[in-house]
Each structure stands twice: as structure tokens, then as C-alpha cells.
Amino acid sequence: MPLERIDKLIASQGALSRSDVRRLVRSGAIMLNGASVRDAGQKADPEADRITVSGQPLLISKYLYLMLDKPEGIVSASRDPKQKTVIDLVPAELRRGGLFPAGRLDKDTTGFVLITNDGDFAHRILSPKKHIPKTYLARLARPADETLAEAFRSGVVLTDGTRCMEAGLRILEGGETPLAEVVLREGKYHQIKRMFAACGNEVTALRRIKMGNLPLDETLGPGGCRQITAQELERITQEPTL
């Protein structure tokens, strides 16, 4: 593996910021191969070198799993020649090669995007055979009633004739512009917008709030990004609880 700055390497594991690491370096708490590190910019090989933080060995994980609250106007791609992508929003200390969004949200959709460098994991959660449930909040342009929930339950037929799988729908707020919670187990292009359109309604705002049973951390705020813990990662493949 290429050599990396010790402060960046330690901060990339998520528990400490680069300024925490610099403070620990000043206090002599960081060791590299048994010798105290004097400069936070010192380089180390994450595979070959032994780093300890306050006596504890630093376990470097090869894979990173991040939760991002995607704001409107950002594209769900690894790179784009003209537009800002979800990868551009990853904080410097968590950035590394090979990160990509596991699944896409439309440019105007906000909420939970999982970013990782683990291709197998992404494949598992995106595989159409796995049907990992994703939960969304949709603001609608027109009133909605229980017939809509029934239509979603029996599988909406899109205007191009495609039949969707059974989906969950709950009206959380009624009125002229209702708020609906939708649970999908597949991910067709613009699926929720097209499902509501096929039922004579229109989505005016869409937000993904949960993947499997892992809710988006709403304290992140638009553009906020943090690591997903090991326990949280397991919840992605579990059924959502209300």
C-alpha cells in the first residue's frame, strides 16, 4: 500500500479528527513501530507498519461505509465533468480511492446515500434479488386517499406498461399536498415519481430516510457525512421497523 500521512491515516478510521491526532502526537501517545511519532505528517505504510494510539493497536479497515445526507442539486455519481457529485461531499479525512455511491438518487431527491469502496457489499444490497427495502418521504401535489395505498400494494403499472413489485404506502399527512411514506423493494429509474404519476398524482419533493432498518441520521443535515458503525451496517439488510 502507498505511504500515507499518519494523521490522515488515523482520522480516516473515523474515531478521531486530524486535530485530535495532532494533539495526541504532541502528547507522545502515537507510536510507529515502537517509536514515538513527533510529526503528524510523518508517513506510514498502513499494511506493513504497526501504529498504536494510546497503547491500542490501530486496526486499519480496508473498507469504508459512509452515510451521506444528499442535498438537492448534487448528482449520485463518482465523478462528473461539470456537476458536483456525492463523492465531492465526503470530508477530506474520510476520502480515499475507489469510493462510489451504492445506489442512486435523482439530482432533486435528498437524503440517505450510502458511499463505500466495498463492491461486494454494494452488489449485495443493490441486487434486485435481495429486495432490500428503502423508505422514502414523498410530498404530493394532489390529495391522496387509501385507494393509492391499495394500488401500491397490488403493484403499480407504469405508463410504459412495466409492472412494479408490491410497495408500501402510508399517508402521514393528508390535505391538499399530502406527505406519504413509501417503502420500495426495487429501484427502477425515477420509480417513485413514475408510480405516483401512473396513479394520477405528482411528487413535488422526495427524500430517502431509511435503507433496510437503518434510518438516516437526521443530525447530519444537508451535505453531512459520517461513517456507518459495524452495528448500523447490519441493520441495512434487516426489515424496517416503524
Q: Does 211 bind ligand URA (CB under 6 A)?
A: no
> Pairing between strand 43-44 and 65-70?
unpaired
> What is the closest distance, in whole angstroms, from the C-beta atom of residue 77 to ligand URA in the complex?
13
Q: How far is the CB of 27 from ligand URA (least distance, A)?
A: 47
User: Residue 110: which of 223, 33, 230, 239 has the closest Cα?
Assistant: 223
Contact (Cβ atoms closer than 8 angstroms) between residue 186 and residue 158: no
| 206 counts as binding ligand URA under rule CB under 6 A | yes
What cell does 12 get?
Answer: 480516516
Instruction: Rule CB under 6 A: say whether 110 interacts with ligand URA.
Output: no
Based on the shown chain and the rule CB under 6 A, indicate whether residue 105 belongs to the binding site for ligand URA.
yes
| Contact pattern for ligand URA over residues 15 through 54, marking x by CB under 6 A | ----------------------------------------
| DSSP one-letter string for 84-119 | -BGGGGS-GGG--TT-EESS---TT-EEEEEEES-H
Give catalytic status of residue 106 as yes or no: yes
Task: From the candidates 20, 49, 88, 106, give the one annotated as an active-site residue.
Answer: 106
Helix or strand (DSSP H, E) at 66: strand 65-70
Considering only 192, 199, 214, 216, the residue that binds ligand URA (CB under 6 A) is 192
On whether the CB atoms of residues 94 and 117 are closer than 8 A, the answer is: no
* Of positions 193, 207, 210, 235, contacts ligand URA by CB under 6 A: 193
Q: Quick check: 190 binds ligand URA (CB under 6 A)? A: yes
| 3-state helix/strand/coil string of 132-145 | CCEEEEEEECCCCC
Taking 3-state DSSP, the helix, strand and coil percentages for the chain, each rounded to the nearest 5, stand at: 20, 25, 50
Comparison of 23 and 188: residue with beta carbon closer to ligand URA: 188
Nearer to ligand URA, 10 or 184 (CB): 184
Residues that bind ligand URA (CB under 6 A): 105-106, 109, 190-193, 206
